[in-house]
Amino acid sequence: MATISTTYCGDLRTKAIHNLSGTELITDAPIDNNGKGEFFSPTDLVATALGSCMLTIMGIAARKYNFNIDGTTVKTTKIMGINPRRIIEIILEFNFPNPSIFSEKDKKIIEVSTRICPVAKSIHPDIKQTVMLNF
């Protein structure tokens, strides 16, 4: 169980504190929704959480099956819709720094990891999740 305490700071900004660690996170409304866009927006955090979760699950699998994904990156693109304003698609492009080290079995484990991460399973099914694995 995690507890986060969030305060509205005014001017469409919030400050969240992860109670266990004390880590702070600030959000702003995006420029296209009346905000300053100086920090992650709440919807940016949803998209970021998806990419971070997939990388984490890949890391757990890599550790379990004795291969290494260190240095792997993900470029996350969030696409917003209107009426209602909401996330309609999250595009995740994973780039692996040493693609030749992965066996076909490793690649399959990585691919499955993208589908079983808890954030992927928590996001509404109407939000398209496009995943590209660049080995």
pLDDT, tens digit (0-9, with 9 covering 90-100), for 77-125: 999 999 999 999 999 999 999 889 999 999 999 999 999 999 999 999 9
Dihedral sign, CA of 90, 50, 123, 25? negative
Q: Quick one: 66 and 123 in the same domain?
A: yes
User: Structural domain of residue 24, as residue ranges?
Assistant: 4-33
Q: What is the pLDDT, as a whole number, of residue 57?
A: 98
Averaged pLDDT for residues 24-32: 96
Q: How would residue 128 be classed by pLDDT, with cut points 50, 70 and 90? A: very high
Dihedral sign, CA of 78, 115, 132, 107? positive
Q: Quick one: 98 and 52 in the same domain?
A: yes
Would you state the torsion angle of the CA atoms of residues 127, 134, 94, 76, taken in this order, to the nearest 10 degrees?
-50
Averaged pLDDT for residues 2-7: 96
Q: Quick one: 28 and 62 in the same domain?
A: no
CATH number of the structural domain spanning residue 91: 3.30.300.20
pLDDT, tens digit (0-9, with 9 covering 90-100), for 43-72: 999 999 999 999 999 999 999 999 999 999
Phi-psi category of 66—alpha, beta or left, where left has phi over 0 and alpha has psi -120 to 50?
left
Q: What is the pLDDT, as a whole number, of residue 103?
A: 96
Residues 6+ away with beta carbon under 8 Å from 73: 94, 95
Q: Quick one: 81 and 111 in the same domain?
A: yes
Q: What is the pLDDT, as a whole number, of residue 71?
A: 97
Q: Quick one: 54 and 18 in the same domain?
A: no
Q: Quick one: 113 and 90 in the same domain?
A: yes
